[in-house]
Amino acid sequence: MKQSSRVAALVLAVTVLGLAGCKATPPGKAETKVADWTKHHVTVGGKKDVNPVKATEESIEDGKQLFNSYCMVCHGLDGQNTGVPFADTLSPRVPSLASPETQSYTDGQLKWIIKNGLYPSGMPPSDGEFSNDEMWRMVVYIRHLPPKGSLGVPPVYSGK
C-alpha cells in the first residue's frame, strides 16, 4: 500500500471513529427526572406569579391567535406538534404542550418560559414580541388546548 493510501485510510478511520464517538443518545429516565425537577424547582422562574387573565371563550381564542402567530411553527396549531416535521427529530424533542410535564408548570412558570425561553432546549425567548397580557393569554390557551390533530397542519408546512 502506498504511503498516501495509508494516510487516507488512517484519516478515514479516525473520522469514522470520531463521528461514532460524538453520537448523542437520548437521556435515560434518571437524567430526565433530574432535568425536569431542576427546571420546575430551580431554573424556571415565575412559580408564584398568578395569571390575571381568566379563562373565557374570548381569552382562549385570543391566546390561540397569539400562539398561532409565533409558537405554532414548533408546537403546531394544537400545541401538540401536529404537522411539525422536525418535532420528534430534534434533541431534545419539541414537547407536546399537553404533556403532563408541561401542564405541571404553574401559569407563572409557563409565562416565564414564553418570555425568557428555555436554554438549551431550543425554546426561544419572546420578550419584546408580546405584552405581558398577551403572554398570559397564551398561557390560558395552553391550559385549554384542543384535541390533538383537530386543527390540522400549520399552513407553513401544508403549503396552503
- Statement: residue 120 has pLDDT above 60: yes
Nearest to 105, CA basis, from 141, 153, 139: 139
Q: Which three cell numbers stand for residue 145?
A: 388546548
> What is the distance between the alpha carbons of residues 102 and 141, in angstroms, rounded to a whole number?
13
Cα separation values, 87 from 80, 133, 142, 147, Å: 10, 28, 17, 18
The mean pLDDT value for 39-64 works out to: 91
pLDDT class for 57, splitting at 50, 70, 90? very high
Considering only residues 29 and 127, tell me which one the structure prediction assigns the higher pLDDT.
127
Domains of the chain plus CATH, in order, are 44-158 (1.10.760.10)
26 by Cβ neighbours in 10 Å (0-12 / 13-18 / 19+) ranks as exposed
How high is the mean pLDDT of the chain? 85
> Distance (Å, rounded) from C-alpha 87 to C-alpha 89?
6
pLDDT-based confidence at 22, cuts 50/70/90? low
Average pLDDT over every residue of 120-149 = 94
**Given this model, what pLDDT does residue 6 score?**
65
CA of 67: how far to CAs of 100, 111, 129, 141, in Å?
A: 20, 12, 12, 8
Residues 6+ apart with CB under 8 A from 64: 141
pLDDT value of position 7: 61
Is residue 60 pLDDT above 80, yes or no? Answer: yes
